[in-house]
Amino acid sequence: MLRAHQCLTVAVLFGMSQAAQASLLSNNSIFFDDFSSYSAANNVPNNATNTAVGPWDAYSDGSNAGITFDGNVVVMRQQSSGNARLRSPGIVFPADYAAEVRFNLTGSTPTGADAWELFDTARLGNGGVELGAAQDAGGPGSATYNLTWGAGDGIPVIIPLQNLTKGTFYTVTGHKKSDGSVDVYLDGALISTQSVTAPNTPIDFFMGSTHGAVNGFLTVDYVSVGNFVPEPGSMALSVMAGLGLLAFARRKRR
């Protein structure tokens, strides 16, 4: 039988091994798509508006925009004109939920504009989570860009949150809580807390380009909406704290 201090050691080692793994902070209970069920037959060409692809309403306008599926990821192409985006309407969001997407971004976006929306859970209504991407001060030729908070409740200010590298996959999660605050996680680590002011209930999930000057590609590996699941390392810390109190109590009883 393990003693309390031995259990504590096991918990520490377990927490370290778990924290080293990629963390999914949404449990997929509301909506999930990893795009594995689609193929080139589902591709959305230029000027194909309101095309149904699974649960998505796919939209591509202009002569240089389109959406490509290859059985693993979806790629939204936006070059100089038009828009390419996916919208899944009719999702019922609770007061507390987590929306998550794994993505990479290449090409250029206008400096200061929220040109790519990684996801907006309230595209047609306020009160949701809006995380996007915008070119940083380095300009279109820069190898980096900014992850942005777009304030989905109508606040007209785009807030840079973190500088990212083009062509690198990241996982970004927005945990919308019932008090109106939104915790933003990048690859499982909390990087910012923002807030929404409108009480409206989000009504859909939207991602893609929203600015005609975009010249790039947004590749998405998966989309998840569900209950927030704490990062395994954080859970292990809670276990460690409880075991530490147990060990202290045992010593006091002796």
pLDDT at 155 over 60: no
At residue 254, the pLDDT reads 57
State yes or no: pLDDT of 10 exceeds 50.
Answer: no
pLDDT of residue 213: 60
Mean per-residue pLDDT, 87-106: 89
Residues 6 or more apart whose Cβ sits within 8 Å of residue 134: 109, 110, 111, 112, 113, 114, 115, 116, 145, 146, 148, 158, 160
- Residue range 23-230 forms a domain whose CATH class is mainly beta
Q: Give me the residue spans of the domains in the chain.
A: 23-230
Is 70 exceeded by the pLDDT of residue 242?
no
At 206 the pLDDT is 83
- For residues 60 and 84, the answer to whether their CB atoms sit within 8 Å is yes
Task: Give the whole-angstrom CA distance, residue 168 versus residue 7.
Answer: 38
Sign of CA dihedral 209, 220, 179, 237: negative
User: What's the pLDDT at 7?
Assistant: 38
Average pLDDT over residues 36-45: 91
Query: What is the rounded average pLDDT of the residues 62-83?
Result: 79
Burial 239-249 (b: 16+ CB within 10 A, else e): bbeebeeebee
Q: Which of 72-86, 143-157, 212-226 has the lowest mean pLDDT?
A: 143-157
